[in-house]
């Protein structure tokens, strides 16, 4: 029973961040576009190579969400917008991992697909695994994050990540699952 309470205390805050809010699918799509565009600008300001990687890509996905770390477990999730030369589609993601960690953070990342094979892998499998080791903390009370913001280039995918809020120290192996949505049967509803 204690484990169930601990898991729920980790998962509920995680599900509340990175939500496409609104009372209709179109409103949720608009909010997802707005949130991911804001996140992309933050990524560009932190990673000078990100704009060139995105501009040269056959497609790119921008995601925002949150991760919670509690000892040997990590969970998270959020929303993504996939842009294929102007054609937009919407995704949710969930993440889980094992390793050592404690904390909570809101994150944003972009994955720039450098070739069609990498884009097809993302769309068809929807799975990704990666190792993460990071320590993040608030910088001298300013609200700014002192974080090991990450950039990775693996198998035709350039990934740039920033920590938007929160603090965590972790060394985890994370798995990500992405699934396309049109928000018509979305499990998260928001009242006006």
Identify the residue whose tokens are 């953070």: 105
Task: Report, as an integer, the average pLDDT of 4-21.
Answer: 43
Domain ranges of the chain: 2-181
The DSSP code for 150 is: -
Distance CA 144, CA 132 (A): 21
Look at residue 191 and tell me whether its pLDDT is greater than 60. no
pLDDT at residue 189 is higher than 90: no
More confident residue, 178 or 127: 178
Instruction: Output the DSSP codes for 108-161.
Output: EEEEEE-SHHHHHHHHHH-EEEEEEEEEEEESTTSS-EEE---EEEETTEEEEE
Give percent of the chain above pLDDT 90: 39
pTM greater than the 0.85 cutoff: no
Please tell me the predicted confidence (pLDDT) of residue 63. Answer: 94
Q: Is the pLDDT of residue 90 over 50?
A: yes
Please tell me which of 12-21, 39-48, 134-143 the model is most confident about, judged by mean pLDDT.
39-48
Please give the mean pLDDT across all residues of the chain.
75
Confidence of residue 176 (pLDDT cuts 50, 70, 90): confident
């Amino acid at each position: 029973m204690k484990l169930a309470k601990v898991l729920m205390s980790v998962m509920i805050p995680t599900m509340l961040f990175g939500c496409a809010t609104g009372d209709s699918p179109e409103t949720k799509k608009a909010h997802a576009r707005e949130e991911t565009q804001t996140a992309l600008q933050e990524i560009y300001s932190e990673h000078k190579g990100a704009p060139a990687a995105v501009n040269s890509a056959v497609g790119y996905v921008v995601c925002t969400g949150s991760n919670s770390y509690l000892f040997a477990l990590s969970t998270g999730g959020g929303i993504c917008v996939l842009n294929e030369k102007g054609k937009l589609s919407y995704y949710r993601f969930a993440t889980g991992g094992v390793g050592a960690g404690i904390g909570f953070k809101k994150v944003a990342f972009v994955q720039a697909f450098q070739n069609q094979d990498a884009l097809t892998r993302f769309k068809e499998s929807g799975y990704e695994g990666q190792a993460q080791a990071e320590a993040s903390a608030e910088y001298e009370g300013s609200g700014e994050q002192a974080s090991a913001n990450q950039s990775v280039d693996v198998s035709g995918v350039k990934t740039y990540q920033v920590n938007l809020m929160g603090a965590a120290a972790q060394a985890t192996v994370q798995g990500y699952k992405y699934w396309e949505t049109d928000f018509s049967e979305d499990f998260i509803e928001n009242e006006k």
